[in-house]
A and B are shown apart, each in its own frame.
Chain A
Amino acid sequence: MRNRSPLFTPPDPFAEINPPLTRDAALAEANRCLYCFDAPCTQACPTHIDVPAFIKKIATGNLRGAARVILDANPMGHSCARACPVDVLCEGACVLNARDVKPINIALLQRTATDHALEKGLKLFTPGPDTGKQVAIVGAGPAGLSCAQDLRRWGHAVTVFEAKPLPGGLNTYGIAEYKLRPATALAETKMILDLGVRLETGVAVGKDVPFATLLADYDAVFVAVGLGLTKRLDIPGEGLPGVIDALTFIEQIKTRPYDQVEIEPRVLVIGAGNTAIDAVTQAKRLGAARSTIVYRRGEADMPCYDYEYELARHDGCEFRFHCVPRAILGHGRVEGLKVDTPSGEEVIPADMIIKALGQTPRDALGIPAGHPKVFFGGDCANGGKEIVNAAAEGKAAAAAIHQLLGGTDGRPPR
C-alpha cells in the first residue's frame, strides 16, 4: 500500500454504508408504514413504484410479490434500493415527516424484497410471445436495460450494444463502492438479460458498427449511451501526471483490487456535485491523508445532496469554498493547484487532482435528427440524472417503441 497514511487502519473502508435490514427490523419497519392511499412516496418516484403495496407484501411475508411490484415498475430496483437519493424522493415525501416522525426506510425495505429475488433466483417475468420485431438498444446502462426488460415482456427481440466489456453502465462502473457493488449491478443486469436479451459487449456503435446499419437492420433503435468524458478545466497543467477525471478514478475502484487503485497523500477534487463527493470520500477511504473538495462557489451553492455533503464531512474530507482554479502546478507531476480566493491568490499543495466537473455530451453517433424509428433516454437525453430517471425513461421508450411496432397502450402483461 504505497502512499497510505500510517493512521489509516479502518477494517473495511468500502463496507456498505446502508447494510440490509434483519428480518425482524424489516418486519417492524414494514408494519410502521401507514399504507397511504394514492401515496406521496409513489408519486415522488419517477418510476412510480407502488411503495405501500410492496411494503404491505413484506409485512404479510409475500416477498416474491413485493419484489415483483418493485421490479415491474422499476427494473433497476436493486441498484435504486442502494443508490437512489431517497431523501429527496420517496422518503422525503413520506407523510410521517409531517408528523415529525422518522419516515419509512423505503430504500432498505426495497432492498429486503429485491435481495430476496436475487438470493432465490426468482423468475418474476416471462418473455412475451415472439412478435417478429427487432429492436436495437445502444448502451447497456440503466435506461437501456429497463427498456430491454419491457420490450422482452412484450415479445420483441432485443439486441443491446455495449462499448464496455461488462453491461450495467454506471451501475457497474460508476457508483461509489460503499453504495453499490459491481456484483450486485451485474446480478441485476443478468435478471433482465435472462429474459432472452442478446448482448454484444465491446461494440461501440458509431465506430465498430455504423448507426445506419442499425437503422437498416432493426425495426426501432433506443439510444441510451450516457454521457462522455468529464468537462475540461482549460487551465495550464491539466495534462500533468496525477490529474485524473472522477469517473476514471471511480472506475479503477470498481475494477481493481483496492490496493492497486492510484492514490496519493494529498488529493484535491475539483467540483462539488454528487460525483465529486463520491470521489473525495473514496479517495479518503483509499487512504489519502487529506482529501479536499475545491469549489469555486460557496457552501450553499453546492449541487450535491445535503446527505452526501454530510457523508463527506463525516469521512473527514475537507472543503475549500470560493476557490477558482487557475493553474495546476508541478514539475513532471502534480505539486499543487493555484487558485484565486476572495483574499487573493493561493497555491494549495496536492499530489493528485481529481476533476469532477460534470460530463460532456457524447460525440454524435451519426444519428439522423427526428428519425421516427429512433428513441433516446437516460443521461444522454436528460443531461445526467439518477438511475431511477434512466429507468423511467427506458420504460417510457419501451412503451413508445411497442406502440410504434403495433402494440397497445399500457403495461406488459403479467
Chain B
Amino acid sequence: MADLRVDFAGVRSPNPFWLASGPPTNTYGQVARAFDAGWGGAVWKTLGEPIINVYSRYGSVDLGGTRMMGLNNIELITDRPLEDNLREIADVKRNYPAHAVIVSLMVESKREAWHEIVKRTEGTGADGMELNFGCPHGMSERGMGAAVGQVPDYTCQIVEWVKEVATTPVIVKLTPNVTDVTYIARAAVKGGADAISLINTINSIVGIDLDTFAPAPAVHGKGSHGGYCGPAVKPIALNMVAACAADPAVGVPISGIGGIQTWRDAAEFIALGATTVQVCTAVMHYGFRIVEDLVDGLENWMDERGLRTIRDFAGRAVPNIMKWEDLDLNHHTVARIDYGKCIECELCFAACEDGAHQAIRKNGRGHGAPAVEIIDEACVGCNLCSLVCPVEGCITMAQVENGAPAVSWKDFTAGRGKLAPRPEHFHTARFG
C-alpha cells in the first residue's frame, strides 16, 4: 500500500494534499472540516492588516457546458481581526497536531512589520509560514503581494527580514505575472527561503457583459483585473514548477499550485518536482470532499505501478523537459487512422487542410473508400488530427522506422549528424 506521507522542508504532512491559501482556509470551522475530510495540510488565508472587501468578488470562465474552467477573483487577504485568526490557528494546530498548518502572511514592506507578524504567527504553534508575494490585485496597488514578488531584490530583502526572526520553515509563494519565474525563485532562495510555492493567480479579465459593457465580476458596473486560477491555468503552472525544479540555483522543495482538481493533476505536479500540492478552486467548486478521490486515486495509481512513496516518483518527469535544440529531428512520426473506430466526422481533414500541413486526403463519405486518408509523404507527425479527433484511440501517432541516427538542432547546426528525408520536402516539391 502506497505511503503518502511527505516531509516538506521539515513540515510533516499525512499526505501531499494541502488547501491553498484562500477562501476555503478562512476559519477554524473550514480547516477543521477539511482535515476531517482527509486534507493533509492547509495554508491559512493570508494574515495582515485587516482590509475591507468589495461585495462582488468572483468571475467565471465556462467552456462548452463546463462551469468554472477558469475562475478569477478580486477578493483581498483576510478581513477578520488578526487576534481571531491567530487564536483559531492555534486551536487548529492543537486539535490536529499531525496535520500541516501553514500561515500565509502579507504586511507592508517594513522590517518591523514583518518581524512582528512572524513572531505572532509562530506563537500559534503553526508549522511554517508562506509569504504571499503573489497576490496580483488590490494589495499590489498598496505595494504588497505581487508588487514585491515581481522584483527580485524586494523578494530577497523581505525573505531576509523574515529569516532574521523565523524559527519555522519559510515558504515563498511566487507570482506567475513575471517574465521568468526562476529569477524570483532564486532571489527568494538567496534571501533564505526554505521552500517555494507556485503559482499564485494570473492577472486577468474573465469577460465583458455585452449588454452593460461591465467586466466580470462587476462592482456597480465597474471592475478591476483579478487573479485567474482553476483548471485553465494548470499548464502555465506546470511549466513554471518544472522550470524551478530544473534550476540548480533554486534547489528547495516546491509546493505546486494551479488548477489541480484530480489526483492525476497532482501526480503531474509531483512528477515535475513538487513535493506537496495546493488546491483552492476545485474546493470552491465541489467542497472539501474531493480529497477522498485525490488520496484514493493517487494511492491506487501508485500501487498499480509499485510506487511506495511520493519520493519514488517526485521529479521523475523533470529530466524529460529539455531545450528544443536538444530534441531529435529524425524521430519521425505519422498519423494512423483506425477505420474500425472512425465515425467519418472529417474534423481531422478540416484541421489538417486549413490549420496544419495538408496531409489528409478527403475521399468523401459513401464511396466504399475511407472518408479520409493520411498522405504519409506529407504528414509531418504534428499530432493535430489526433487532438481534434473525437474518438478515443481512433487516430494515433506511429513511429516511422527511418533508420536514421538521432540528430538535434544543436548537433546539426554544428555539422554533426545527418537529417533523414523529411515530409516538408514533399510540400516544397509539390507546390514550390
Whether A and B are associated in the same complex: the answer reads yes
Contacts of A27 in B (CB 8 A): 392
Q: Among B263, B286, B301, B392, which residue has its beta carbon within 8 angstroms of that of A23?
A: B392
Known: A24-B392, A35-B286, A37-B287. Is A60-B292 also a contact (CB below 8 A)? no
Contacts A53-B292, A53-B293, A65-B297 given: A60-B391 contact, CB under 8 Å?
no
Q: Does B402 sit at the interface, judged by CB under 8 A?
A: no
The 8 Å CB contact of B264, one of A31, A35, A60, A68, is A60
Contact mask B294-332 → A, CB, 8 Å, 1/0? 001100110000000000000000000000000000000
Chain B residues contacting A62 (CB-CB under 8 Å) are 263, 293, 296-297, 300-301
| B27–chain A nearest beta-carbon distance, Å | 19
B300 with A65: CB separation less than 8 A: yes
Given contacts A23-B392, A24-B392, A65-B300, contact A60 B286 (CB under 8 A): no
The residues of B that contact A53 with a CB separation of less than 8 Å are: 289, 292-293
Which secondary structure characterizes the binding site on chain A?
Answer: helix
Contact A57–B296 (Cβ < 8 Å): yes
- Which of chain A's residues has its CB closest to B66's CB? A31
A224 to B290 Cα, complex, angstroms:
37
Contact pattern, A 42-81, Cβ under 8 Å of B = 1, otherwise 0: 0000000000010011011110110010000000000000
Give A27 to B392 CA distance when docked, in angstroms: 10
By DSSP majority rule, is chain B's interface helix, strand, loop, or mixed? helix
A62 to B290, CA, bound (A): 13
Residue from B66, B263, B287, B392 in contact with A60 in the complex, judged by beta carbons closer than 8 Å? B263
Within 8 A of A (CB), among B378-410: 391-392
CB pair A56 B287 closer than 8 Å: no
Cα-based distance from A255 to B297 in the complex (angstroms): 40
Tell me if B177 counts as interface (CB < 8 A to partner A): no
Please state if A65 and B293 are interface contacts (CB–CB under 8 Å).
yes
Given contacts A35-B286, A60-B262, A60-B263, contact A65 B296 (CB under 8 A): yes
Q: How far is the CB of A129 from chain B (nearest CB, A)?
A: 17
- With A24-B392, A35-B286 known as contacts, the answer to whether A56 contacts B264 (CB < 8 A) is no
Per-residue B-contact encoding for A306-338, CB less than 8 Å = 1, 0 else = 000000000000000000000000000000000
Taking a contact as CB atoms under 8 Å apart, the answer to whether B293 and A61 are in contact is no
Q: Nearest chain B CB to A41's CB is how many angstroms away?
A: 15
Q: Do B293 and A57 have beta carbons less than 8 Å apart?
A: yes
Interface residues on A, range: 10 to 19
Cα A179 to Cα B311 with chains together (Å): 47
Which single member of A23, A24, A56 contacts B293 (CB below 8 Å)?
Answer: A56
Per-residue contact bits, chain A 75-92, to B (CB 8 Å; 1 contact, 0 not): 000000000000000000
Contacts of A24 in B (CB 8 A): 391-392
User: Could you tell me which residues of chain B, from 250 to 292, have a CB within 8 Å of some CB in chain A?
Assistant: 262-264, 286-287, 289-290, 292
Most buried by A among B290, B292, B300: B300
> A56–B296 Cα gap in the complex (Å)?
12
List residues of chain B with CB within 8 A of the CB of A31: 66
Chain B CB within 10 Å, residue with most, of A23, A56, A57, A65: A65
- How far does the alpha carbon of A61 sit from the alpha carbon of B301 in the complex, in Å? 9
The reply to whether A64 and B300 contact each other, CB–CB distance below 8 Å, is yes
Interface centre among B289, B296, B301 (most CB of A within 10 A): B296
Chain A residues, CB < 8 A from B297: 57, 60-62, 65
Interface string of A1-37 (1 = CB under 8 A from B): 0000000000000000000000110010001000101
Q: Which residue of A lies closest to B265 (CB)?
A: A60
- The distance in angstroms between the C-alpha atoms of A259 and B364, with both chains bound, is 46
Please indicate the chain A residues that have their CB under 8 angstroms from the CB of B300 in the complex: 62, 64-65
> Which among B264, B287, B289, B297 has the greatest number of chain A C-beta atoms within 10 A?
B297
Chain B's nearest CB lies how many Å from the CB of A126? Answer: 11
**Binary per-residue interface labels of chain B (146-181) against chain A in the complex, 1 for a CB within 8 Å, 0 otherwise:** 000000000000000000000000000000000000
CA A61 to CA B297, docked complex, whole Å: 8
A57-B262 Cα distance, complex, nearest whole Å: 9
A17 to B: closest C-beta gap in Å: 24
B417 to chain A, nearest CB (A): 39
Distance between Cα atoms of A57 and B263 in the complex (Å): 10
Output the least CB separation between B127 and chain A (Å): 27
7 A–B contacts from the bound complex (CB under 8 Å): A23-B392, A56-B293, A57-B297, A61-B264, A62-B296, A62-B301, A65-B297
A60-B293, A61-B297, A65-B297 given; name 19 further pairs at CB < 8 Å.
A24-B391, A24-B392, A27-B392, A35-B286, A37-B286, A53-B292, A53-B293, A56-B293, A57-B293, A57-B296, A59-B262, A60-B262, A60-B263, A60-B264, A61-B264, A62-B293, A62-B301, A64-B300, A68-B296
The 8 closest A-B pairs by CB, nearest first: A62-B297, A60-B262, A65-B296, A24-B392, A64-B300, A60-B297, A57-B293, A35-B286
Measuring CB to CB, which residues of chain B are less than 8 angstroms from any residue of chain A? 66, 262-264, 286-287, 289-290, 292-293, 296-297, 300-301, 391-392
